[in-house]
Structure 1
Amino acid sequence: MALTDVGVRSAKPTGKLYRLFDERGMYLEVSATGGKWWRFKYRFQGKEKRLSLGVYPDIGLKDAREQRDEMRKLLAKGVDPGEHKKAKKAATLERATNSFEVVAREWFARQSPGWAQSHADKVVQRLEKDIFPWLGGRPIEEVGAPELLTVIRRIEERGAKDTAHRAMQNCGQVFRYAVATGRAERDPSADLRGALPPVRRENFASITEPAKVAELLRAIDGFRGTFVVKSALLLAPLIFVRPGELRKAQWSGFDLEKAEWRYLVTKTKTEHLVPLAVQAVEILRELHALTGHGTYVFPGRDPKKPMSEAAVNAALRRMGYDTKTEITGHGFRAMARTILHEELHFRPEVIEHQLAHKVPDSLGSAYNRTKFLKDRRVMMQRWADYLVALKAGGQVTSIDKCT
């Protein structure tokens, strides 16, 4: 006789395994302790086989029968239900291991060791916040251009246009990695070129008028903050390196006797040499008495870590400067580039090399840390002397072009 809901529910343990049979090969197996499993018994190519249909009460009598009927349909088509179930499970597992998030994290793990930590943090945060909640669980090969655009548009609609473009770029990198590793056929982000409005790029705020630079330098002299932060402010215009490179500077890279600083540029992974003017060496010698026993030139509250990323900009704001419209820590680079060329008439290629920018030459070398080194030493000292005279309010005349 066929099983009933009441009969299944009331089946009690007897201390040993027993079975209650339904129709067409299905039965309920009751364990010695009372556990209940649905089973389907069938024959395929002359061999008797059994297949689990789930656990009661998670799977009720009606659902178990529906599964059984599906299995019988497969048998009628010459398909082994057990092998079919294994294939479906394997396909599901493969889809899960090839989801967008799994592939993206694999791509990130391979690429991020070569990035600056701040950049790596921004990329993974962008993916986790704006992409994974909607695409993370999707098989990467099934994600198409319209679905990707919908996700990117969510970012754009909240006003984060630059983030939307960067997220699109990151997704394209993930898709291309999936193509390279055989988990996708193509990169759908390529179909979305022009789908997002362009972002208006704004340069870092900077002061490039000599008279206003003089005011800034005098304000730095009068800054009432920690000695470490003030030293960073005094040194920033003299050496005009990237803010991250300044705050992470380590004493091991400095040779104050030779008046030079060597370090690895995080953006390009190239070695860079900064000739130090007399004024810069003086600032560093004074600072060395305070922080020279540690790793970092500008340590933070925790001496084992560098100064905060926001420290210089926060100091500029305390001095009354708007870091969005007037000057930022990065703005000292534009200040030097502009005045060195327009006021002191140094050659652009000499300035660009000192800024650690890639400047291809006739030999094809993009950057050489020692190229124009003699000219750069002269330039850095003249620049420091110029700033001293400017701050003092003296008459600063143009200097002949460096040859």
Structure 2
Amino acid sequence: MALNDITLRSLKPDAKPYRKSDGGGLFIEVRPTGSKLWRLAYRFDGKQKLLAFGQYPDVSLARAREKRQEAKALLADGIDPTAKAKADKQERLAVSEHTFRKIAAELIDKLRKEGKAETTLSKKEWLFDMANRDFGDRPIREIDAPMILATLRKVEAAGNYESAKRLRSTIGQVFRYAVATARASNDPTYALRGALIAPTVKHMAAATSRDDFKAVVQAIWAYDSGAPATRAALKLLALLYPRPGELRLALWPEFDLESKVWTIPTARAKMRREHVKPLSPLAVEILKLLKAETGSESRVFPSSIARDKPISENTLNQALRRMGFEKDQHTSHGFRASASSLLNESGLWHEDAIEAELGHIGSNEVRRAYHRARYWDERVRMADWWASQITQFAQA
């Protein structure tokens, strides 16, 4: 017997759910909570299925019957109404939920959980902000290559060719993640390869001849301006030649001054693996003096402006500028090239020992462990020899 609104309104909840049919597979299900839910029973490919139409009275009797007819029309065309409803829901989500901004934020969260360095994530977030300003709130499926190119051209027009290149790559990372999670069908940045002006590769300026590097060391040891953390960081860059970010962000628990070892944690090491470096007696002495001067309990190189933050790379480079070294002569990152050049030039050390000390030895776990074990003693001797060279340069 067909239902009517009077009957529907009079239906009362019972201890168990019960149903009242309207015919043609359409029925209302009354729950113990009092909710009244529209359902359509139908068969597709020989299987019994149920399709939900919503709750009465939000979905009226007339609308429920319209939905029944729409479902019957789909069945007549060989289409499963449940599959169609799911596809429609995904399409709605693609418009309202699956925006570039939300998927980019989700990717950042995934990378953070995977242990990517905060400096790396900050750079990605900065690049995402550029993209978000233009199309962050658009559904990712609606974003195409011309739309992305228009954003890249803005960055390129300002002369920031390297940033434009990185932005294209980072946007592509979001699309590939969206494809992998079934929210996009392709990566439109692939079609943009070759569309941008290729940036000129610029290597970090470094003093790589013995005389030039001696001049840098002499200037650093004679430098009496700036904060203690800045002066100590410059000396340790010369002695240990780590990446500037690895040094600037260092925390005291990473240093075992008794054992003369510095352990750079995975989260901060560029190669995403723990990197252990031997400390020469001179490096230990500098660290002990620094701790006595700063009194810091956590950061080795605290900023003089905000003690809970580290000194910046710009602080180190500006100190080099004040010593008279232009940015095309030597930089804080250049100490790595200086050490690599002079250590290899000496002919005293195995090239793999030098590469291991620089943190370059390959990605294979067995190979890394082999090189660390085989060359550790040589790296300790090399650290002491290098410190003696630095001392000679400083006193010359």
TM-score, normalised by the number of residues in structure 1:
0.71
C-alpha displacement at 1:333, in angstroms?
0.6
C-alpha displacement at 1:177, in angstroms?
0.7
After superposition, the Cα gap between the structure-2 partners of 1:243 and 1:90, relative to the gap in structure 1 and judged at 3 Å, is closer
After superposition, the Cα gap between the structure-2 partners of 1:47 and 1:374, relative to the gap in structure 1 and judged at 3 Å, is closer
AA aligned opposite 2:325: Y
Provide the identity percentage: 36
Aligned to 1:66: none
After superposition, the Cα gap between the structure-2 partners of 1:367 and 1:228, relative to the gap in structure 1 and judged at 3 Å, is farther
Stretches of structure 1 lacking an aligned partner (at least 5 in a row): 1-45, 51-74, 80-86, 394-403
AA aligned opposite 1:270: R
Find the partner of 1:343 among 328, 341, 346: 346
Cα separation, 2, equivalents of 1:101 and 1:364: 40
AA aligned opposite 1:314: Q
Aligned to 1:189: 189
Cα separation, 1, equivalents of 2:351 and 2:185: 46
Aligned to 2:136: 136
The 3-state SS of whatever aligns with 1:261 is strand
8 A Cα contact 2:353 2:379, kept in partner: yes
C-alpha displacement at 1:320, in angstroms?
1.7
Aligned to 2:323: 319
Aligned to 1:253: 254
After superposition, the Cα gap between the structure-2 partners of 1:382 and 1:90, relative to the gap in structure 1 and judged at 3 Å, is closer
The 3-state SS of whatever aligns with 1:274 is strand
Q: Give the helix-richer structure, 1 or 2.
A: 2
Find the partner of 1:329 among 295, 312, 332: 332
Structure number, greater radius of gyration: 1
Find the partner of 2:299 among 289, 296, 303: 296
The 3-state SS of whatever aligns with 1:372 is helix
C-alpha displacement at 1:377, in angstroms?
0.6
The 3-state SS of whatever aligns with 1:270 is coil
After superposition, the Cα gap between the structure-2 partners of 1:258 and 1:363, relative to the gap in structure 1 and judged at 3 Å, is closer
The 3-state SS of whatever aligns with 2:332 is coil
Cα separation, 2, equivalents of 1:199 and 1:264: 32
Aligned to 1:230: 231
Report how many aligned residue pairs link the two structures: 319
AA aligned opposite 1:238: L
8 A Cα contact 1:263 1:271, kept in partner: yes
AA aligned opposite 2:333: H
After superposition, the Cα gap between the structure-2 partners of 1:137 and 1:157, relative to the gap in structure 1 and judged at 3 Å, is same
After superposition, the Cα gap between the structure-2 partners of 1:370 and 1:262, relative to the gap in structure 1 and judged at 3 Å, is farther
AA aligned opposite 1:191: A
After superposition, the Cα gap between the structure-2 partners of 1:98 and 1:233, relative to the gap in structure 1 and judged at 3 Å, is same
The 3-state SS of whatever aligns with 1:206 is coil
Stretches of structure 2 lacking an aligned partner (at least 5 in a row): 1-59, 65-69, 75-86
Question: After superposition, where does 1:2-401 map in structure 2 within 5 Å?
Answer: 48=62, 91-92=91-92, 94-113=94-113, 114-129=115-130, 131-223=131-223, 224-265=225-266, 266=268, 267-301=270-304, 302-322=306-326, 324-359=327-362, 364-365=367-368, 369-393=372-396
CA-atom RMSD in angstroms: 3.1
C-alpha displacement at 1:303, in angstroms?
2.8
AA aligned opposite 1:380: A
After superposition, the Cα gap between the structure-2 partners of 1:47 and 1:354, relative to the gap in structure 1 and judged at 3 Å, is closer
